[in-house]
Structure formats: C-alpha cells, structure tokens
Amino acid sequence: DAFTWHDELMCVPQNISSLVVYYNQDLFDMAGLPYPPDRWAWADFVATAVALTQDFDGDGRIDQYGLGVEPSLFRLAPFVWQNGGLVVDDEISPTRLTLTRPPSLQALQWFTDLHNVHRVVPGRVEEAAQDSESRFLAGTTAMYLNSRRGVPTYREIENFTWDVAPLPIGKTAAGILHSDAYCLSATAVDKEAAWTFIEFANSIAGQTIIAGSGRTVPSLKAVAESEAFLDPTQPPGRAQLFIDNADIMRRVPVISTWQEIENIADEEIERAFYGDITAEEAARLAFLRSEEYFFRGETAVTNAKAHE
C-alpha cells in the first residue's frame, strides 16, 4: 500500500524496517540494569533512560545520556498510535493532522517530557554540538531510536557491545513502516534494461546481496527468514525483532503533499521538544500551518482522477 497510487502499484518494494531501540549493553551492565525485555511499558522505558543518564564528575553537565531520539513526527507517530490516537483524521484520505485530539496530544506530551521533564536526551545546543547517533557511536548515549538502516554503521563499533530491543508499548503495540522501493520511470531511456535490473534486485539472489549489507530487511520472506539476514555471527543478536515487528507496523498517509506536512509538524514538535512552546501549542500550530497542504494534496488527487 505504501507504493500504491490510485489503486495502481507504482514501485516494487525492496525492503521493510521498523523503529527499534538500539542499546549499549556495556552501559546497561555498568549500571546494573537488565537488558530491555521483549515487552516493556512507557514507564519502564523512561525509568531506564533516567537511570542511564549520568553526570559522573558532578560538574552539572550530563556526561552520559540515557536516550537519543530525533524530535520528529516520524519518531512520534508510533507512540501516538500506541496511545490509541491518530496522526491524521483519515489514513486513506486525510484532511488534517489530529495531534490536538486527547490521545494524540497525550503521546506528544509524553514524548516532549523526555527532554523537558526527565532530561534523558540532549538539549538543542548539545545535539547541535554532537548529534545523538554520534553520541551512541561514541558510547556516551545508552539507547538510540532508529530503523534498520543504522546496522552497517553500528557493526563497525569496536569499543562496546550493542543489540536491539522493541519500542516500549503503550495501550497497544504499534510501529512505523520504513521502506524503500524500485521505481521505473515512464521516461527511462532503456526500460527493458531497467526492468531486468529490478527483477534481479528483487530476486532471491539480489535480495541476498542486500541482506548481506545489514542495512534493510529484505522484502522476500524467504530471504528475510534465512541466515543471509538473521546472521548469527553479526549483531544485532535479536535481528528476528525486525521481522516480528512487521505485524504491528503502520504507515504514514500516501498524499502528494505529505513531505510539506511532515516538515511543518517536525518544526513544531521540535520547538515543543526543546521547551520553546507547549505540546498543546505545537499540536495546534502544526494543525493550522499544515491545513492548506492537505487541501492542495487532495486537489492534486482529484485532478489526477479527473484526467484518468
């Protein structure tokens, strides 16, 4: 569905991935904490992040953060869904953002509290100086939220052991779909050659090559469930998690103006995350500022249908 437009499949899916918690096992060990379980609650997640956030030398500056997360709609969305909320009013034909509705706003408040209340993530200045992924790689951030794309980089880590854990669960389990696809342009110079490549890339042989990179979860189940992907000789040890998460993944809407809508939401979420405005104000502004882009997107779809 993520690559379908007007009931037509536009691209051939190459992979899927879900958002997971990457964690530094050594830092958990030093703190005397158990590794994240297969199922944990929001409160457990926050308590763990708090315990792992440390000012070792007592100078008032945090030396080790418990968590790193991008303050964006894509990172927030799973928690909105977990709380019984919606990101948009209609996931098939959206007309507005719905972060102002109570379940969604509660999730946004919880998300922004990670910085504003619990102080388990770097502030804006600290993040600008060294982003959270770099801190995770350096061993100074204990947990980091990311998709499968981080694995090739993290496999280069030599100074600590790491693994993955599921997102904490709210009222229900939910994740967000990360996916890429192969698309063949109608104006391609050599369509036959391009299609030959796509056929190979999405064959068992091609998908096995992709699996070997570690970056993605192959779209072919036969490859995803093989040792080509579930390689026991390389981290993460809990690679099966990426496959198991497929059943709970949801996607953002397919609308022509989604990038503009997401950019606006990201701006307001970031402002709330770093304490410039309240979560309620961020939700309201995201709704108001994005409204015209839903209209434009709907018009584009309507016009496209009119010309079919």
Predicted TM-score (pTM) of the model is 0.91
184: left (phi over 0), alpha (psi -120 to 50) or beta: beta
Percent above pLDDT 70 for the chain: 94
- Residue 181: pLDDT band (50, 70, 90) is confident
What amino acid is encoded at 147 in this protein? S
The rounded mean pLDDT for the chain is 92
pLDDT in tens, 52-69: 999 999 999 999 999 999
Q: Which residues pair with 145 in a beta bridge?
A: 21
Confidence at residue 308, expressed as pLDDT on a 0 to 100 scale: 41
Cα–Cα distance for residue pair 258/247, rounded to 1 Å: 24
pLDDT in tens, 9-33: 777 777 787 899 999 999 999 999 9
Q: Provide CB contacts within 8 A for 239, sequence distance 6+.
A: 164, 229, 230, 231
What is the pairing mode between strands 8-9 and 4-5?
Answer: antiparallel
Percent above pLDDT 90 for the chain: 76
Cα–Cα distance for residue pair 135/295, rounded to 1 Å: 40
Cα–Cα distance for residue pair 293/168, rounded to 1 Å: 32
Which CATH number is associated with domain 16-178+251-306? Answer: 3.40.190.10
Q: Which of 180, 142, 152, 141 is nearest to 236 (CA)?
A: 152
